[in-house]
């Protein structure tokens, strides 16, 4: 088991093309931890904004009567991927991992695989 700081550091050092990462409570929209980002990526703003994305998708699934779980939400931009991984392990429901990637350097399949591993090792 690893803590939030260690997990986020692992995400940005082991995932090729990582720009920044955050662990977010989507009940409140608050980031419990962040790493990376910069002037072009304010992770606190990204955490709050992506909380709205998660809430909207959860609501839509409920309205459609879908009895399934969201694994990832992917947002593709011209130069970046934004990956949202809803956490399900060990009572971590209500949290998501957020990862921003440089599209030119990232391998999306490997990023998803590594983020899943980080989620499984993370203790909130």
Spatial contact of 63 and 36, defined as CB atoms under 8 Å apart: no
Of 52, 16, 39, 31, nearest in space to 98 by CA: 31
CA distances from 35 to 7, 41, 62, 68 (A): 10, 11, 32, 31
Structure confidence by residue, pLDDT tens digits, 44-103: 999 999 999 999 999 999 999 999 989 999 999 999 999 999 998 655 678 999 999 999
**Structure tokens belonging to residue 119:** 């989620």
Quote the pTM value: 0.92
Reported as a single tens digit per residue, the pLDDT across 16-36 is 999 999 999 988 999 999 999
């Amino acid at each position: 088991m690893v803590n939030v700081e260690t997990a986020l550091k692992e995400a940005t050092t082991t995932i090729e093309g990582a720009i920044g990462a955050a662990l977010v409570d989507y009940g409140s929209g608050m980031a419990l931890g962040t790493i990376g980002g910069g002037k072009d990526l304010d992770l606190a703003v990204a955490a709050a904004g992506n909380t709205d994305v998660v809430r909207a998708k959860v609501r839509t699934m409920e309205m459609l009567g879908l009895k399934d779980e969201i694994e990832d939400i992917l947002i593709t931009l011209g130069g970046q991927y934004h990956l949202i991984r809803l956490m399900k392990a060990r009572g971590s429901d209500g949290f998501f991992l957020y990862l921003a990637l440089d599209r030119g350097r990232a391998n999306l399949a490997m990023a998803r695989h590594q983020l899943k591993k980080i989620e499984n090792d993370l203790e909130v």
